[in-house]
Chain A
Amino acid sequence: MKQILLITDGCSNVGVSPIVAAANAREEGITVNVVGVVDQGAIGELGAAEIAQIARAGGGMDRIVQSHQLSHTIQMMTRKTVVQTIQHAVNRELRQILHSDANSIEDLPPEQRSQVVQVMDELTETSELKVALLIDASASMKPKLQAVEEAIRDLMLSLQAREGKSEIAVFHFPGRASDETVMDLDWTQDLSNVRSMFQRMQMRGATPTGPAIFKVIEFYQYDKMKGSDPALRNRPETDGMLGDYVV
């Protein structure tokens, strides 16, 4: 399973629309979640609308929270997205595997539902998961970066407790050039790597959210070429497990 988690505090203002970018990610099988961080005042109508649209296009969720709620929020979002991804996959397969005329899990009679959810819980815990965190590092985000770093550490702690292989990577934008996206951390399962990532970061004004999302899509593609695409390997497994558990 592949996710992008975008953490931002306002509107994009350079390059391709982030909504287009998120729709592209979705097409690649990557779910895009968005968290807006506001500490004082509001994020503005435009910012809030953009955040909601990015998440909708990316098939994910959006939340607007204060810094101190960040850890809890991204932890919850990541987990919920895993469950939903599995749920969508299960809903698609219900007719074929269970020979049921149900369209969704809710339509199943209680006994069958119980068995299907058991399989889902199993997959929630054991499936491979990759989360690319994409951090808006425009000037206004500066006071929030401490909280962002803490939230990433907290997410890693939760992921480490999973049975399935779970990795995160961290990017921020803009880099030195206003259209540049910088990788701070390559795929890792190691908590100790998540420390003082953003210390030497230069904060700049522009917010090229769209191009940054594309950069991460590219990164995932490169990953796939190396032959480690979990989504491709997970599918037959899902089928097999449903077949095994539910008769």
Chain B
Amino acid sequence: MTTSFNAGTLLAPGTWIEGKWHHRRYRVERLLGKGANGAVYLVRWGRSMEQAALKIGYDAVDLQSEINVLTSLAAHQTKRERRMLQSASRPFLLDVDDCVLGQIEVQFYVMKFVEGCTLQQYMDRQGLEWLGLIGYRLLQKLTELHHADWVFGDLKPENILVSEFGHVELVDYGGVSRIGRSVKQFTERYDRGYWNAGSRSADPGYDFFAFAVLWLHVVDGARLRRLSTEQLPQTRQPSDLMALVRTNVKLKPFESWFKQALHGYFTSSDDACAAWHQLAIQNGRRTLSPPVKGTTPGWLKGVFIASIVLLGSTLYFMLQS
């Protein structure tokens, strides 16, 4: 162990972490990921060396705030829900403690290890046909939160893990906020305020907006990136996002859903969830991809013309030589 440890230092595999209050010992296997609030490690613990995920926080208060949300969520789960979830036998939150690493004291919590890869990786490997099901399951998770009076807030690909056959799990509860309060943590690209589409108050619609941009990011990342960088901040608007949806073959079948999400028309989470479900089933039953009509937004035409010119000149030179 080094003496110059800080929360950003990478812990070597084999390092032992022992809690100061509860005295449980964890052995680090490897880093699972890092974010703005902490680093998450795969660890083993107990007599049978079970797997778990251990998050070391960069800031005691931020981490505790996240822990409070997890505790409150666990208390809200009914017995039935707990039986239904695959996490039935164990709660998501397993331990909360402090330990000394190097010279400094750090705070950590231990949770269920969620298998799987990020949403982006899953879609890249398994294909976009999983969109309907994964989206539906994600909406179910969000709806569950909404019914418990919370909004997820910081919905983005890094905070969604997908395992075999499209099972999803939300990780990172740092942005989870009480309905009616301000959204604690968000990422610009998925933020309703950033797109001039509404407030930063936590309401279910905030999550649905982020959900919509999330899929644009996963399915049509390059065009979304261009849209968010090429526009002036004050001219960003949800209808530009809609233009992307309408001109994307994979998202087009969900157009009506995206429209309601991006413009904030959904009045209940159950409705939003049911509407997506319906579209996902309908879309799967179709044997032909729907034709995509070109209502190209103005700025895209420019891009298109530019690429045509480029194509033209490339071909010209190719044919010359």
Report A's interface with B, CB cutoff 8 A: 71-72, 83, 87, 105-106, 109-110, 113-114, 117-118, 120-121, 125, 150, 153-154, 157-158, 160-163
The reply to whether A117 and B65 contact each other, CB–CB distance below 8 Å, is yes
* Minimal beta-carbon separation of A189 from chain B (angstroms): 13
The reply to whether B193 and A157 contact each other, CB–CB distance below 8 Å, is yes
Count chain B residues whose beta carbon lies closer than 8 angstroms to a beta carbon of A: 27
Q: Is B7 an interface residue (CB 8 A)?
A: no
Within 8 A of A (CB), among B91-107: 96-98, 105, 107
Task: For the A-B complex with A110-B21, A125-B182, A163-B182 known, give 20 more contacts whose Cβ atoms are closer than 8 Å.
Answer: A71-B188, A71-B233, A83-B61, A83-B62, A106-B60, A110-B96, A114-B64, A114-B68, A114-B71, A117-B61, A117-B68, A121-B68, A154-B194, A154-B233, A157-B199, A160-B200, A161-B182, A161-B201, A162-B181, A162-B182
Q: Which residue of A lies closest to B96 (CB)?
A: A110
User: CA of A117 to CA of B96 in the docked complex: distance in angstroms?
Assistant: 14
1/0 per residue B4-36: CB within 8 Å of A?
000000000000000001000000000000000
User: CA of A150 to CA of B62 in the docked complex: distance in angstroms?
Assistant: 28
A163's partner among B98, B107, B181 (CB-CB below 8 A) is: B181
* Minimal beta-carbon separation of A233 from chain B (angstroms): 21
The reply to whether A105 and B60 contact each other, CB–CB distance below 8 Å, is yes
The reply to whether B97 and A110 contact each other, CB–CB distance below 8 Å, is yes
Question: What residues of B have a CB within 8 angstroms of the CB of A161 in the complex?
Answer: 181-183, 199-202
* Minimal beta-carbon separation of A143 from chain B (angstroms): 14
Question: What residues of A have a CB within 8 angstroms of the CB of B200 in the complex?
Answer: 157-158, 160-161
Q: Is B67 an interface residue (CB 8 A)?
A: yes
* Minimal beta-carbon separation of A139 from chain B (angstroms): 23
Q: Is B234 an interface residue (CB 8 A)?
A: yes
Question: What residues of B have a CB within 8 angstroms of the CB of A109 in the complex?
Answer: 21
* Minimal beta-carbon separation of A213 from chain B (angstroms): 28
Q: Which residue of A lies closest to B95 (CB)?
A: A110
User: CA of A34 to CA of B245 in the docked complex: distance in angstroms?
Assistant: 40
Question: What residues of A have a CB within 8 angstroms of the CB of B202 in the complex?
Answer: 161
Question: What residues of A have a CB within 8 angstroms of the CB of B234 in the complex?
Answer: 150, 153
* Minimal beta-carbon separation of A33 from chain B (angstroms): 17
22 A-B pairs (CB sep. < 8 Å): A72-B188, A83-B62, A87-B61, A105-B61, A106-B105, A109-B21, A110-B96, A113-B64, A114-B67, A114-B68, A114-B71, A120-B65, A125-B182, A150-B233, A154-B194, A157-B193, A157-B199, A161-B181, A161-B183, A161-B199, A161-B200, A162-B182
* Minimal beta-carbon separation of B76 from chain A (angstroms): 15
Q: Which residue of B lies closest to A68 (CB)?
A: B229
User: CA of A72 to CA of B105 in the docked complex: distance in angstroms?
Assistant: 29
The reply to whether A118 and B68 contact each other, CB–CB distance below 8 Å, is yes
User: CA of A202 to CA of B84 in the docked complex: distance in angstroms?
Assistant: 66
Question: What residues of B have a CB within 8 angstroms of the CB of A117 in the complex?
Answer: 61, 64-65, 68
Q: Which residue of A lies closest to B71 (CB)?
A: A114
User: CA of A120 to CA of B67 in the docked complex: distance in angstroms?
Assistant: 14
Q: Which residue of A lies closest to B183 (CB)?
A: A161
Q: Pick the most buried of A114, A120, A125, A157: most chain B CB atoms within 10 A of its CB.
A: A157
Question: What residues of B have a CB within 8 angstroms of the CB of A114 in the complex?
Answer: 64, 67-68, 71, 96
Q: Which residue of A lies closest to B69 (CB)?
A: A121
